[in-house]
Structure 1
């Protein structure tokens, strides 16, 4: 079993156990001009399950529904539905010209769910995710609809992807005040190259008990090792075509790629593994979504938690990637906060008070109603 996947964590304040690395299925299909064929997708799926992973992320819009259809087939053929924590998303339109075929209103949520259940060949979704804020639908309507679906047994939990921090906190506060099912998690872009969620989203998630699922952890390949800093510029596959964005990309990320390359060399690890390791160990992050188009690529990424980043090298990455402080965060810095505590040491709770309960792997009781054999690592039928 992969070092990255032999430990499971709870998603937010739910009791749902998920892998620290989730398999992203956006590459299942080639309708978008990239991705992989069905045979390769099946190998990716099997590789992930064989490593001990249980958390799979897709969406109704991915590859025109192919991603969901293939996942449904893979899960059915391997009879592993109970083992899988299946997440899919709703919100993007299914029909141009029809205002109710997209968005986050009740009518579209119910329409989208029926389609996903059919394509995934299942009668429930473990984690149903609002794909992006639509700026229009009242949060009360979204919350009530998702809570109704949980009570009806159609979904188990729900999450929010790509929403403003105020919207997520509004939803969670409404759920708490009205005794409805809470927001289990936020799914947001997060990487060494994109740390803007640290300003509002991460603190909100930690304060209100929402897990965080990080997407694009390698910044669309920037941190994968395909790009190198050389002569003050960034060189790689996407820079070869003279794209307009490369100048801004080079100026912004040159120092980061230098630091990441140095840390990777010091650890004798691929740059991608270092970037994923850093992210998976960030405070508040529950699971990192990793995608691939080749099994060997996925296997390499799944090994990203098989080592520890030393404090000094972590500090090197922090310094090279830290986003600029903006108002009002500038007022929350330590030098400013010391003026609010009389320059004394003040903690919210005594040291160690917030230690989370943890169950370690090890010897267990031998009970007659528990099967003695370990669960197979490779799905049935292999």
Structure 2
């Protein structure tokens, strides 16, 4: 996908650049403090590039779901704490715009920006027009800057977001340049490479909860990989679809129906765990390793030790590894072994290792292996959708080279 990048924006001295970032970071529910700054750190190379080129930056992002939040929860969804963390990581003062996303105060703050200055707008979703691709909202945002950069891969699939689609479309009409940032360019380069000429053998690792949510992604992987390893809660969907008793593990009928067409690949391209850790539903301290049926009153919570060793061996033998979805209930230390050891094996691999965003990226970082991967995507849903071959309207708005 040959889209214009930062180097195609021309002379930026004295220009104000609107940068759509993905600062939708996890926050402490009580204090509103940023709990994980990975997405902010990922945007820094683009911001620094623009500032070094003599531009000023007007950054914008959504944060959480204020449309569904209580008044108290909404207070924690302002960008104040994010702006503070952004400035700390950037080592440049960041001005937080007024409480309104657009309006006279914001226009004045943007106009006052000097080269090298950074302004962060208020949470875009505080304005209900953000999720309606509203032309008036797009025009108000567009009036603030001279160019547009999309560096928010995690929201590229959101075709109804004004800041992702309507805003760059408005700038096109005004003849103002539009480009992708360094982060988005890297995401597209890595994923395009995975889907065209990956180094072989290619190994896919799929975890998480729902087969139905990832059926298109799984089918896409099956056409590209040499082997696909299954873990996470979807393990028990496959087992139940095969007629194996999974104890108290909850598996919906729709999940079983989604898994049935894939059963023909089990034992061929698809490998299921040979053992798994099960915990008693009413007492998680009671656990046992199962091979075959899970006893009544127990539910599957992690892949077992034999499976871990088998999966590690598969990783070591592969030249390209694509991982999406935790292998167990990794948020609970007792059930994190499968996810942790798979992350460790990937970090030690000599091959190309790609982590597919979302919870998987959080796990890789939590265990200290994110920096040792070839690439950790900042987009969970966007990663899945792009691999599946979906066309993003947000990227269609960016100027072609």
Alignment TM class, shorter chain as reference: 0.3 to 0.5
Larger RCO: 1 or 2 (CA < 8 Å, sep 6+): 1
State the structure with more CA Rg.
2
Report the TM-score, using the length of structure 2 for normalisation: 0.33
TM-score using structure 1 length:
0.34
